[in-house]
Amino acid sequence: MEILDHISKHLRLGDDEMVLSLTKRAIARNIHPKTILDDGLISGMNVVGELFRKHEIFLPDVLMSAKAMYAGMDQLKPLFLKGGIPGRGKVVIGTVKGDLHDLGKSLVGIMLKGVGFEVIDLGKDVAPEKFIETAVREDAKVIGMSALLTTTMPMMKTVIDLLRQKNLRGKIKTIIGGAPITKAYADEIGADAYGFDAARSVECVNALLSD
């Protein structure tokens, strides 16, 4: 449908006003909200992710597109709730205890919401128990942890060990990221995935939830 292509195109351009207007128009034409989300907004966001990976656009471009995505999503959310349309799943994210650097984590949250996940952002300086309690209470299938300091990285292992102790490993998957984090470190502590950057974190969460 042409209008969905327009939504996708203006989302790529980061034009939030046009995306808002076109989404309203698509709703008025009785296009199913899930179709608008999948073939308009998410389709556009997928292209943005691809261009970002190829270094054809950069972080600020992605974030302008994310704002446009949210403008459209805000119109669709009430319809999803009203129609009982299931979301793509919940993800709990946060910066680990002892660390206040949360920009990277917030970007991952923005991107995850952008592709339709429900994100519970616990903020920064988050205690290990809080990650797990929240994931259990909210029935989230993935916990995402971020750290910028080498001194706070071990908190990620604490969370994973706690999941193991509570027999929740496998039921709740973990993804970790942040400046000092490497794939080798993620493997060493038993994380299920390593988010190199925001775009790849989204791919990893997709993969974890389709396992």
Partner 1 sequence: MTGLVPIALDGIMPSFKAILRGQGVPPNAVISGRIRTLIGKSLDIFSSEARPCCVTRDVSMGDFDEIFRGEGYNEEQAPLKAIYRRADHLVLFALTMGHEISRSIGAFFGKNDFALGSMLDTVASVAVENSVAYLENFAAKEFTGKRTTAAGGVVLNYSPGYCGWHIGAQKNVFRYLRPEQIGITLNDSCLMTPLKSATGVLVRGDKAIHIFENGFSFCRTCKDQTCLDRMDRLSSADHPTL
58 counts as binding partner 1 under rule CB under 8 A: yes
Name the CA dihedral angle for 9, 13, 17, 21, rounded to a multiple of 10 degrees. 0
DSSP element (H, E) containing 90: strand 90-95
64 counts as binding partner 1 under rule CB under 8 A: yes
Q: Given candidates 117, 131, 185, 194, which one binds partner 1 under the rule CB under 8 A?
A: 185
Q: Assess contact for 155 and 126: CB atoms under 8 A.
A: no
From the list 77-85, 92-100, 135-143, 169-177, the region that binds partner 1 by CB under 8 A is: 92-100
CA 199-204-210 angle, 5° bins: 130
67 counts as binding partner 1 under rule CB under 8 A: yes
Phi-psi region at 30: left, alpha or beta (left = phi > 0; alpha = psi -120 to 50): left
63 counts as binding partner 1 under rule CB under 8 A: yes
14 counts as binding partner 1 under rule CB under 8 A: yes
- 3-class secondary-structure state, position 124: coil
97 counts as binding partner 1 under rule CB under 8 A: yes
- Look at the alpha carbons of 130, 169, 155, 176 in this order and tell me if their dihedral is positive or negative: negative
Q: Which of residues 115-134 bind partner 1 (CB under 8 A)?
A: 124-125
From the list 35-43, 81-89, 104-112, 159-167, the region that binds partner 1 by CB under 8 A is: 104-112
**Residues forming the site for partner 1 (CB under 8 A):** 14, 55, 58-61, 63-64, 66-67, 70-71, 97-101, 103, 106-107, 110, 124-125, 149-153, 179-182, 185, 197
